[in-house]
Amino acid sequence: MTGPRYTPLVASLPATVPFVGPETQERTRGRPFRARLGANESLFGPSPLALAAMTRAAREVWKYGDAQNHDLRAALAADLGVTPENIMVGEGIDGLLGYLVRMVVAPGDPVVTSAGAYPTFNYHVTGFGGVLHKVPYAGDHEDGQALLDKAAEVGAKLVYLANPDNPMGSWHGAEKIRAMIEAVPEGTLMILDEAYIEFAPEGTAPPIDADDPRVIRFRTFSKAHGLAGARVGYAIGAPPLIAAFDKVRNHFGMCRISQAGALASLQDKAWLAEVCAQVADARARIARIASDNALSALPSATNFVAVDCHADGEFARRVLRELAELDVFVRMPGVATLDRCIRVSAGPEDQLDVLEEELPKALAAARG
């Protein structure tokens, strides 16, 4: 009796996941976290209009979702001033990244990203047999010129940049992003991940012709809109590229309830503004908590703050472990020198109260 006959690629890959989720950690620990400040979710929750729309849609959950995501694509297009043919909706940015890599990257194809940038993108590239080329950050920012230089050097199919950045919270202004797009090497597609764009200062997102074949932008309802569990992301790109998703995507991958929630949330601009204001307040409080403990908060254009522990990665990992022992869930960057930091998600006062109470204990234990 034989088992599955895996492809040589799959057989060669280790069993890995990009992130170990908090639920997995809670099962391992045998108890829940008191403060869930590590996944960059919106702890302020979704729009009440979205919740109402999802409740109504639940009555029709016996139906598949609209395979074309027609209403949501039309609403997004109107909101962005583009056509529905410029919009693809999918199962979060993670799902859309997987589809894009499947479309573009064959075994052995070169792909460029930053060392320490979003691991899920790397996971997809490796899973489809691509070859990752990584360049270091320039300080706490992704190095746009180094990314483009490496892409030209290796003939990259894709070059990935997040703006604002995860895990550091840093950002580039619109003019720098625009210049990068103009300098993308021939034959390379630039991925511009804008998952946190709603939190960024005005002037971060450049006006880009949606028909420009050199770039595809990704945005999400998981962060500012508070719908991480609904898994709704979207891409903005040239119509031929957007149409190509139909060759590989799961056409019925979008849940009917998620579609309704995202559509209602998109229309609730007042809620979005309120959440962004709460995030700004939370970032300021995290900075104060850091300062009170002789740590430094890096400037952030996201819904999290990278907190510099003023030591090496091993010390920051000890702080992370000690916080977990005290039931505080946070994460940290994975490569030096970024890993001198821990990364704390913005949250409401009761969650940050726990951080304020437990961080001094974690630091003392890590130092002792």
Cα distances from 254 to residues 90, 185, 251, 262, 264, in angstroms, run: 7, 34, 8, 11, 16
CA 297 to chain centre: 20
Q: How far apart are CA 337 and CA 137, in angstroms?
A: 9
DSSP H helices in 42-196: 48-58, 70-80, 92-104, 119-127, 144-154, 174-182
Q: What is the pTM of this model?
A: 0.96
The pLDDT value recorded for residue 260 is 98
- Among left, alpha and beta (phi > 0; psi -120 to 50; other), residue 117 is beta
The pLDDT value recorded for residue 318 is 98
Cα distances from 275 to residues 198, 245, 265, 302, 349, in angstroms, run: 10, 32, 12, 12, 14
Residue segments in the chain with a per-residue pLDDT below the cut of 70? none
What are the pLDDT digits (tens) for 157-183?
A: 999 999 999 999 999 999 999 999 999
Partner residues linked to 93 by β-bridges = none
The pLDDT value recorded for residue 16 is 86
Tokens of 261: 């929630």
Task: Determine the longest span between alpha carbons in the chain, in angstroms.
Answer: 64
**All domains of the chain in start order, with CATH:** 20-45+270-367 (3.90.1150.10), 49-267 (3.40.640.10)
3 contacts: CB under 8 Å, gap ≥ 6:
none
What are the pLDDT digits (tens) for 83-100?
A: 999 999 999 999 999 999
Inter-residue contact 40 to 345 (CB < 8 Å)? yes
Query: What is the DSSP code string of 213-272?
Result: TTEEEEEESSSTT--GGG--EEEE--HHHHHHGGGTS-TT-S-HHHHHHHHHHHH-HHHH
The pLDDT value recorded for residue 52 is 98
The pLDDT value recorded for residue 2 is 86
